[in-house]
Amino acid sequence: MAEAIVVTDTVRVPAHALSVQAARASGPGGQNVNKVATKIDLRVDLDAIEGLSTEARARLATLARNRLDAGGRLRVTSQATRNQARNLEEARAKVRSLVAAALRPPTPRRPSRPTRVARERRLATKKHRATIKRSRSRPGEAD
């Protein structure tokens, strides 16, 4: 059985919310890849995560929306190494970082204003373009 994933002092993913499966990895590895199940498929029940506020839970659901399985559980896979234990640690780290990202509230966007010089440059360019276009017309047609 997998042990709990501790994200912060107050937030943790309990062991009963995790289910781990090993499978044969794809890619290079020679004959080893056909024999040894090193790929890790870690599934996390998002509702069982302890210590998450409702806002953080909503952010986590948004962050994980592309990784959810049919049952609504978060699915994380790792097959980076040829070692099952290291792949398990990497998958656990992915879950930890995803939950930690959901804990941070997004910084509000503060709209920027163009500088005075930028406004003047924009108006000068518009006037210049207008002059060019006005000069293309036949004499006497302008205005």
Domain boundaries, the chain: 5-103
pLDDT of residue 121: 97
Closest to 16 measured CA to CA, from 47, 41, 37, 61: 47
Break the chain down into helix, strand, coil percent, rounded to 5: 45, 15, 40
pLDDT of residue 10: 87
pLDDT of residue 1: 55
Q: What is the pLDDT along the chain (143 residues), one digit of tens a residue?
A: 578 888 888 888 888 988 888 888 887 767 777 788 888 999 999 888 888 888 998 999 898 889 888 888 889 999 888 888 999 999 999 999 999 999 999 999 999 999 999 999 999 999 999 999 999 987 776 55
pLDDT of residue 17: 87
Virtual CA dihedral for 34, 38, 39, 44, nearest 10 degrees? 150
- Output phi, psi for 44, to 5 deg: -125, 130
Residue range 5-103 forms a domain whose CATH class is alpha beta
pLDDT of residue 118: 97
Assess contact for 1 and 14: CB atoms under 8 A.
Answer: no
